[in-house]
Each structure stands twice: as structure tokens, then as C-alpha cells.
Amino acid sequence: MKILITGGGTGGHIYPALAFVNYVKQIEPDTEFMYVGTKIGLESKIVPKYNIPFKTIKIQGFKRSLSPQNIKTVYLFLNSIGKAKKIIKDFQPDVVIGTGGYVSGSVVYAAKQLKIPTIVHEQNSIPGITNKFLSKYVTKVAICFPDVAEYFPKEKVVLTGNPRAQEVVMIKKTDVLKEYGLDPEQKTVVIFGGSRGALKINQAFIEALPLFEQRNYQVLYASGERYYKELQETLNLSKKKLTNISIQPYIDKMAEVLAAADLMVGRAGATSIAEFTALGLPAILVPSPYVTNDHQTKNAQSLVKSGAVEMITDQELTGLKLVTEIDAILLDETRHQAMAAASKKEGIPDASERLYKVVKEIT
């Protein structure tokens, strides 16, 4: 079988695609893959590291306000369809899967015109503009949150979950916390604001640090590269001895760390949610207010309803609020266990298997 995957712009579109590729390679080693992205997107840096053939087309997104740039966008879209058709004809895939981002719009639409089976994978509880557009043309729409089904043609929707979940659920608990100077046997909360960090979470952590030092649980905090130096200087970390707190610019073994943790605090991105629910980990979510259609708040709200998470808005977040909410979960074993069970129930640990089943059904 030949599978062409397209998606880009953010890790939320790229990592689920790569998790699916890894799964298929394990069960069908002879499957051939091609990934189509853009030269300037994050995918151009990430995908080649996975030894997947990578092609690019030129595309840009629409401005939400009236802008002359939208004329150029229409031109690039029409032009990119032709280029996408050439890539598709050369590779001759059995199916084309789009995981979001503007690049997938051109490629999936081109595949539909060439009468090739197509799937779009929507990770969030509010669909992106590209997937909403493509849903009229594709064969199937794979979703991760049941709530998002209402935005798509009912007969095309399949609940598959996020392939990243199946990749993470295979990870067993290890002593990885030792690598960050922490005790693997102690209760641990992991706090992070995404790969680049989040200003409001960073500010709350600084406020909370004196309180964390008094707690009998430990904290692993990833500030993001752009805030790390400032954090070191503000907290005078070169001279300060922290016993139950580890501050890192980035956690490169995040899945392994989450498997060893008792609670997560972070943004409400779709990939992050797929990871911690697959592990049955309770969470406190602080949705980013800077994303399209406020989809992170919708992501979080669906899990609040189930009892798997607590939500703090970016505006409400303070150091005291953060510590109070963490204490209320970590120091109450009954509540912690109930949230963990609810989180596990929300997870879809066989997401890649489900998506592959859809692929086999339409090819």
C-alpha cells in the first residue's frame, strides 16, 4: 500500500501524522509513505528526521480581515493544486490523509479531483478552516472529540482519536525523573506551556515557587527556551538550591515523563490531551487564548464535563490559584483517583488502529 500524508504549520498537525506512520510501519512494513508540506512550515524540519520522503508546495493562509494578501493566497492555492496533482500522480498513493494546516487543503483537494480516496483528521473540538472546507469533498472525516461531529457531514464522520495516544500508551513507567534531579517515588506534577512556553504560566510559576518549596510533592517545570534565561536571572537559580523543584527549558522525553507523573498542568492542545488521557493522567488545563476560534477552551471544557480535568482561564491564573488547585487534587487521594479514572475513560489508546481500519475500508 502507498499512503500520502499532508499537514503542517504546527506540531499538532505533524506529530499525529508521524505517530500513524510509525504504527503502520510496525504492522505493514512494506507500506510506502510520502509526506507533503511546505518549505517554511515546522514539518520541513521535523519530517525529514523520520526518513520519510518529503515534498513541498507553496501555500499560505487566508487573512481573516480584508487584505490584498488574500488575492495572492487564492493564486497560490490554485497553483499549488496543480503541483500537488503532479506529486500525487508520480507517487500514485492508494489513499491521501490530511491532518490539518493550509498545505493539506491543496493536496487533499487535488487527490479528490484525481478520484483517490481521502481522509481528513481533525484533532480539535472546533474544526480548522481547512478541514471544514475539505469535509465536503473527502471520503471520510476522522475526529478525536465527539463534539466536533456536528460540524461535518454525519455520514462521513468516524471517531478514531489521535494517533499520538496509541504511541504514548505503550510507554511504561520508568525512573526518567532522575534525569531531572527528582525522586521517581515521590508525587510529581509536570507543568509546561508548550514547546515555546507560555508567558502567563511562566509568571504564575514564579509567583508559586515559594509555595511549591513548602509542599511535600515535587514539581517539574518546563519554561520554554524563550523564557528560561530570564527565569534563571529572576529566580537567581545559579545560587538557589531547589530540592523538590526542577526547572528545565524543555522536556525532550515528555511522553516518558508524563507516564511517571501524577498530575499535568498545561495548555489544552489536542496532542497533549491525547497523551495524558491515554495514560489516564489527571490535568489542570490553562487554554491558550491566542488560538483560532478559541478551540483550546472547547477542548478543555469537554474534559471538564467528564471530570478528567480542572480548567483555569489564562486571565484567572495566578501563583496562588495554581498551587491551590494542585493541592486540591494531589493531596486528596479519592479525588485524584476519580480524575485519573475519568481521564483514562476519555482516552482512545487504539487511535492509530482505528484510523488504519478506516484506511483499509476505503481503499
Q: Which residues are annotated as a binding site for UDP-N-acetyl-alpha-D-glucosamine?
A: 10-12, 124, 195, 251, 296
Number of Cβ within 10 Å of residue 316's Cβ equals 12
Please state, in angstroms and rounded to a whole number, the distance separating the CA atoms of residues 311 and 317: 10
Task: Check: CB of residue 217 under 8 Å from CB of residue 190.
Answer: no
Which residues define the annotated binding site? Answer: 10-12, 124, 195, 251, 296
CA distance 324 to 314: 16
Q: Cα 345 to the chain's mean position, in Å?
A: 19
Measured in whole angstroms, the distance separating CA 128 from the mean position of its chain's CA atoms is: 14
Q: Sign of the C-alpha dihedral, residues 137, 101, 88, 32? A: negative
Separation of alpha carbons 35 and 33, rounded Å = 7
Distance from C-alpha of 1 to C-alpha of 29, rounded to nearest angstrom? 10
Torsion of CA 253, 256, 258, 262, to 10 degrees: -130
DSSP code at position 197: -
In contact, 258 and 237? CB cutoff 8 Å: no
Element (DSSP H or E) covering residue 33: strand 32-37
- Backbone torsion region of residue 194, taken as left when φ is above 0, otherwise alpha when ψ lies between -120 and 50, otherwise beta: left
Distance from first CA to last CA of the chain, Å, rounded? 9
Q: Where are the beta strands (DSSP E) in 68-155?
A: 95-98, 118-122, 140-143
Residue with cell 534531579: 181
Contacting residues for 107 by C-beta, under 8 A, at least 6 apart: 4, 6, 36, 57, 84, 87, 88, 96, 98
